[in-house]
A and B are shown apart, each in its own frame.
Chain A
Amino acid sequence: EAQVTQNPRYLITVTGKKLTVTCSQNMNHEYMSWYRQDPGLGLRQIYYSMNVEVTDKGDVPEGYKVSRKEKRNFPLILESPSPNQTSLYFCATLGEVGAFFGQGTRLTVV
């Protein structure tokens, strides 16, 4: 079964404490992306990766890092989270017909 798996699903953390949200896919897709969804703003792209070791900034990359050391994994790193990064995050892969999304990670930074 084609899957995009994110962990954790829910996370509450404090300002400044580094965290990583993992994303893994089993479809052997080259393209992977991270999005955040905020009320009234829709889905905004944070970073994307077109292949291993190739990453590019999306629309809202500030405050985030990513890495793509292997094809199946694309972790999102918040080195020093701030309250304005409280959001719902989605990882996605891009196949021939469209993107497959993970279930989402709801992050709250207090």
Chain B
Amino acid sequence: DQQVKQNSPSLSVQEGRISILNCDYTNSMFDYFLWYKKYPAEGPTFLISISSIKDKNEDGRFTVFLNKSAKHLSLHIVPSQPGDSAVYFCAASAWGSQGNLIFGKGTKLSVKP
């Protein structure tokens, strides 16, 4: 049973437009959520996070929104750039088991010039 779901395996966006990557979770114990970006032949790199006490966290072009009642979070990238083309992983953890970070399957974002 997948606890963290990224239902879109891929997303294609025009440069300059908004990219929206979605993530759903099923475990109500999750209270910390993270997004990672991964280029081919590299390890994932941390992008942005949000704790369950917030519903929005912004860092430059990246904003993560959390809807706890819907158990849904999303990553917005505005404006999208070709260098943003990568696989994006959503991850979640419960602070009581911080070592157990659960990842989604990833969404491959392609930003076309």
Contacts and interface: CB of A to CB of B under 8 A. Distances in A.
Nearest to A47: B99
Contacts of A102: 43
Contacts, number: 66
Contact of B89 (A43, A50, A56): A43
A94 B101 contact: yes
A31 B99 contact: yes
What interface size band does chain B fall in?
Answer: 20 to 34
A43 B103 contact: yes
Nearest to A101: B43
B100 A56 contact: yes
Contact of A90 (B43, B46, B102): B43
Interface in A74-106: 90, 92, 94, 97-104
B99 A104 contact: no
Interface of A: 4, 31-33, 35, 40-45, 48-50, 56, 58-59, 90, 92, 94, 97-104
Nearest to A31: B99
A33 B89 contact: no
Nearest to B46: A98
A58 B100 contact: yes
Contacts of A97: 46, 49
B43 A4 contact: yes
B67 interface: no
Contacts of A33: 99, 101
Contact of A50 (B34, B44, B98, B102): B98
Which of A35, A43, A44 has the most chain B CB atoms closer than 10 A to its own CB? Answer: A43
